[in-house]
Amino acid sequence: MELILRGGTLYDPASGKSGRYDIGFKGGRIAAVERGLNPEQARKTVDVTGKTLVPGLIDLHTHVYHGGTSLGIHPDNHALKAGVTTFVDAGSSGPGNFVGFHDHVIAPSRSRILAFLNISFPGIFGFDLRVGECENLKLCDPDAVLARAREYADHIIGVKVRVGEFTSGSNNIEPLMLAKQASDKLAKPLMSHIDRPPPSIEEVLGCLGTGDILTHCFRPFPNDPIDLSGGVKKEVLDARARGVVFDTGHGKGSFGFESASKMLELGFEPDVISSDVHAESVIGPAHDLLHVMSKFMALGMGFEKVVEKATVAAAKAINQTDIGHLGVGALGDVTILHEETGSFEFFDVIGERIVSDRKLVCDGLVINGTHRQ
């Protein structure tokens, strides 16, 4: 083996395995998960006593086309603080500029990057100018999406669309319908953004089917998931029943404590916790995936549950079987972390504040069997 992590406490939601285990890596994959591995079996041993080992975290909603779009952050510079080994880019690029994203960011990155391809040909090109890429339907070409997605099938795991007042304008839900055509033809999931209506969350959910993803699922009013009586909207419950995936996608404007706490109180958890980290949200209030996971812990969700929603649940949402778990033969991705205690402030996108006595902190990563600290 090339590497052993020794002395840590393992938690793997996929298998339910927990306790003191060592993890060995060979050829970029997990080669052994056993108690008391002999350090002489490996070229390098890292002592992680006192730390918790979980599957490499998967951030299902990020923007990491660094240098190619105004919202992109540098994945490798962000990964260690965030605890993320796999970034899923949520439509930063479209068919017209995905090649640049692949060649200049994805290929040289130490972090793993998968991508939803934007239905809009240039991707999210005017983020800082508040120009919606779906305001002009001439840019939304399902045929171009199909061609590019098939060319880069190993990296493009679905189709992304942004609809709402700021992103599709008077086109309302039409870009979503075009994106749905492309994703159905590809047999890969569609991820749909919502912002201020129109369209409403009810209209968007009505277009999504089994395996499709609604991101920003705990938005504040308007387009929140709570009805006027204080219950979960019927369209939200119906969508979950038919297999729509509900993703947090925190971002700068898409996560409210009022919505989240009420939904959790009603027994409706997000399927996936993600950050929607980009050039603006990285400085707050999203910051990074561990920060968002810590917010859910502050709202009463247990450590085991938040880890599940950023590992095996995220992998399932994008049909990836080699990541999100610590089984022998899986890709060699591990997040090394601990819970820090103290007094920590957390803010939602409208400035509401909560205080917690703990937060999650990353102490190191293993990506493809290589240790980073």
CA-CA distances (angstroms) from residue 214 to 243, 254, 353? Answer: 11, 12, 25
pLDDT for 96 beyond 90: yes
State the average pLDDT for the chain.
97
Classify 3-54+329-372 by CATH class: mainly beta
pLDDT for 127 beyond 90: no
User: Residue 60: CB partners within 8 Å, gap ≥ 6?
Assistant: 88, 90, 213, 215, 247, 249, 272, 274, 314, 317, 318
Percent of the chain with pLDDT over 90: 98
pLDDT for 139 beyond 90: yes
The backbone torsions φ and ψ at residue 39, rounded to the nearest 5 degrees and listed phi first, read: -60, -20
Confidence category of residue 182, pLDDT binned at 50, 70, 90: very high
Buried b (16+ CB within 10 A) or exposed e, 189-217: bbbbbbbebbbbbbbbbebbeebbbbbbb
Could you read off the pLDDT of 34-46 as tens digits, one per residue? 999 999 999 999 9
The residue ranking higher by pLDDT, 333 or 373, is 333
Q: What is the pLDDT of residue 310?
A: 99
CB 191 within 8 A of CB 212: yes
Mean pLDDT of 96-114: 98
Which burial class, exposed, middle or buried, applies to 40 when counting CB atoms under 10 A from its CB (0-12, 13-18, 19+)? exposed
Could you read off the pLDDT of 340-351 as tens digits, one per residue? 999 999 999 999
Q: Where are the domains of the chain?
A: 3-54+329-372, 57-317
Confidence category of residue 183, pLDDT binned at 50, 70, 90: very high
pTM for the whole thing?
A: 0.98
Q: What is the pLDDT of residue 35?
A: 95
Confidence category of residue 280, pLDDT binned at 50, 70, 90: very high
pLDDT for 320 beyond 90: yes
Here the tokens at position 284 are 């707050």
Do β-strands 44-47 and 3-6 pair in parallel, antiparallel, or remain unpaired?
Answer: parallel
Q: Report the C-alpha gap between 150 and 83 in whole angstroms.
A: 30
- CATH superfamily for domain 57-317: Metal-dependent hydrolases (3.20.20.140)
Q: Report the C-alpha gap between 175 and 95 in whole angstroms.
A: 15
3-state secondary structure the chain: CCEEEECCEEEECCCCEEEECEEEEECCEEEEEECCCCHHHCCEEEECCCCEEEECEEEEEECCCECCECCCCCHHHHHHHHCEEEEEEECCCCCCCHHHHHHHHHCCCCCEEEEEEECECCCCCEHHHCECCCCCHHHECHHHHHHHHHHCCCCEEEEEEEECCCCCHHHCCHHHHHHHHHHHHHCCCEEEEECCCCCCHHHHHHHCCCCCEECCCCCCCCCCCECCCCCECHHHHHHHHCCCEEECCCCCCCCCHHHHHHHHHCCCCCCECCCCECCCHHHCCCCCHHHHHHHHHHCCCCHHHHHHHCCHHHHHHCCCCCCCCCCCCCECCEEEEEEEEEEEEEECCCCCEEEEEEEEEEEEEEECCEEEC
Confidence category of residue 130, pLDDT binned at 50, 70, 90: confident
